[in-house]
């Protein structure tokens, strides 16, 4: 069996091995006119791989640069544009460190923790009450996803107070809070995928 892993690596893998073979074949053509015609055909094939970019002058120019690169700049043809020499060296990607911020309540996540702590900066009034309700609804969903059995009005109230340093109290009515909890639980119910018996 002939596996790709045993073959030479592709210069530009996005064009595939067939384009590489066509370029290799073009390099063997002695007649300049025939070689030019072959190169133009290869450019059309390469352009068909990315049809959404067709028609752009920069796109056609890029194709000619890629053709030259794939042939190691050995393909002697007349390009309608000056060829830009592409670097084969892969640029090293900067190392991204894993975020090191401490998350005290992992089930809520970092973003929700920030939202909860930001509640204390909202002046008391209807804006704060609406914000509290939205945040508590998200807390309920997160708790229900993490562990449905611990989702209670007392848990939400104590977590809200603790995470805001006692600066924000639960302003939601008991009846409304129960609806929020019921809604969160409904979203996390397991889906019954069993087929109905006929």
Given a cut of 80, is residue 180 above it in pLDDT? yes
**What per-residue string of b and e applies to 38-68 under the rule 16 or more CB within 10 Å gives b?**
bbeebbeebbeeeeeeeeeeeebbbbbbbbb
The pLDDT tens digits for 61-99 are 999 999 999 999 999 999 988 888 876 554 445 566 666
The pLDDT tens digits for 143-174 are 888 888 888 889 888 888 888 888 888 888 88
CA distance 43 to 63: 6
CA distance 25 to 5: 21
- Indicate the pTM of the whole model: 0.46
- The ranges assigned to domains in the chain are 10-70, 109-187
Report the percent of the chain where pLDDT is more than 90: 26
Taking the C-alpha atoms of 14, 15, 18 and 22 in order, what is their torsion angle to the nearest 10 degrees? -140
Q: What is the pLDDT of residue 23?
A: 94
């Amino acid at each position: 069996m002939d596996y790709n892993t045993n073959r030479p690596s592709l210069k530009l893998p996005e064009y595939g091995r067939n384009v590489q073979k066509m370029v290799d074949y073009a390099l063997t053509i002695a007649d300049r006119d025939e070689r030019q015609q072959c190169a133009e055909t290869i450019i059309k094939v390469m352009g068909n791989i990315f049809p959404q970019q067709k028609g752009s002058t920069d796109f056609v120019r890029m194709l000619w640069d890629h053709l030259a690169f794939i042939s190691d700049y050995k393909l002697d043809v007349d390009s309608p544009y000056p060829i830009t020499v592409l670097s084969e060296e892969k640029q090293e990607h900067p190392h991204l460190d894993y975020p090191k911020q401490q998350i005290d309540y992992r089930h809520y996540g970092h973003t929700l923790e920030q939202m909860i702590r930001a509640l204390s900066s909202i002046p008391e009034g209807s804006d704060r009450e609406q914000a509290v309700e939205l945040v508590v609804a998200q807390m309920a969903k997160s708790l229900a996803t993490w562990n449905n059995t611990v989702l209670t009005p007392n848990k939400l109230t104590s977590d809200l107070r603790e995470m805001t340093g006692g600066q924000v109290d639960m302003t939601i009515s008991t009846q409304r809070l129960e609806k929020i909890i019921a809604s969160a639980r409904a979203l996390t119910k397991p889906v019954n995928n069993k087929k109905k018996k006929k």
